[in-house]
Amino acid sequence: MMRVLIGTMFAALTLFGLADAWNRAHAQAPVRQPVTAAQYEQWKKQISNWGRWGAADEIGTINLITPAKRREAARLVRDGESVSLSSDADTVKAVDNPNPYEVTMQGIASDRLAINYHGIAHTHLDSLAHINENGVFYNGYKPDPEAVARDRHAKNSIHNFKNGVFTRGVLIDIPRLKGVPFLEPGTPIYVEDLEAWEKRSGVKVGAGDALFIRTGVWARRKAQGPWLRGRAEGGRSAGLDASVIPWLRQRDVALLGSDHPQYVSPGEAGGAPRGAVHDFALVHLGMPLFDNCDLEALADMAAAKKRWEFLLTASPLAIRGGTGSPLNPIATF
């Protein structure tokens, strides 16, 4: 009788342990509903920044970088050490670099550069004239395509950022959070990932910040070689899930950057469009984007210093009517 009772108790404890483990596992991996097309459309009305800074505004969330914010950012410099957030100019054609930098030596003391910088290969800043929805850009700007082809953009161009960017930068290192060298292609990043990193690092993203999300693109490319990442070509990339969009608006991020153009690819079938975060940020939030940053050296320096906030400076080319600019963002600790 005692043996039967002990056996029964052991079986019950085993079942309880298995159930508890199952509950813990499912608590860690909640069932998610993808952002629907209807939700995405509703956000365009609920969280849009159109008109927030006036009908004539052309700089969007850059308005959040106030003089006070710049002074706050300047005070972050303690050691005076700087690190670049740019990849090197890539002159080698590959599956993820169909348009390499063209560097032509014109003599011993002169060279010429040519670059088609939009896409997934080269570090650049997207202006608010880069992406449109049915011909309409941020804040209702609707240009005549023929006029643009003839004389570039009249509004929302990169020339509006001629005075440069000077604000607090914040790095969120998702591979480090998850204990891996890089995220596998197609891995989505959710709000709870961002907030788990905030808790771990002790740095909370706030108004006027330049937020950089590391997925480990360049670490994976170094280890395994190039792979198809572009959404237009049906590639795969880790990045922000569409469900993060309201969080970006709530936190009033001024600029968003990553080692890929912001989005997870492929997206959910039948839901928000592929590239949802990238396109919504530019068109509806008026949030300029740093695409294809190399965040590996920044991540190493931040980890060594145990500091995940820094002074971020960046100076795009002063191109009137331009849709963006290649550039070299700098983090200074």
pLDDT in tens, 192-249: 999 999 999 999 999 999 999 999 999 999 999 999 988 877 789 999 999 999 999 9
DSSP 3-state of 53:
coil
Of 26-30, 157-161, 254-258, 259-263, least confident by mean pLDDT is 26-30
DSSP 3-state of 134:
coil
Q: In this predicted model, what pLDDT tens digit does every residue of 68-90 receive, in sequence order?
A: 999 999 999 999 999 999 999 99
**pLDDT confidence of residue 232:** 72
**pLDDT confidence of residue 269:** 60
**pLDDT confidence of residue 267:** 66
**pLDDT confidence of residue 28:** 58
141 vs 283: CA distance, rounded Å: 10
- The fraction of the chain above a pLDDT of 70, given in percent, is 89
Q: 3.50.30.50, 3.90.1170.50, 1.10.3720.10, 3.90.1150.10: which CATH number matches 37-92+122-332?
A: 3.50.30.50
Listed residue (330, 231, 318) closest to 277, CA to CA: 231
Confidence of residue 60 (pLDDT cuts 50, 70, 90): very high
**pLDDT confidence of residue 265:** 81
Considering the entire predicted model, what is its pTM? 0.90
2 vs 265: CA distance, rounded Å: 59
pLDDT above 80: residue 303: yes
93 vs 182: CA distance, rounded Å: 23
Mean pLDDT (whole number) for 56-77: 98
Asked if residues 72 and 62 have their Cβ atoms less than 8 Å apart, the reply is no
Q: Where are the domains of the chain?
A: 37-92+122-332
128 vs 309: CA distance, rounded Å: 26
85 vs 331: CA distance, rounded Å: 7
pLDDT above 80: residue 12: no
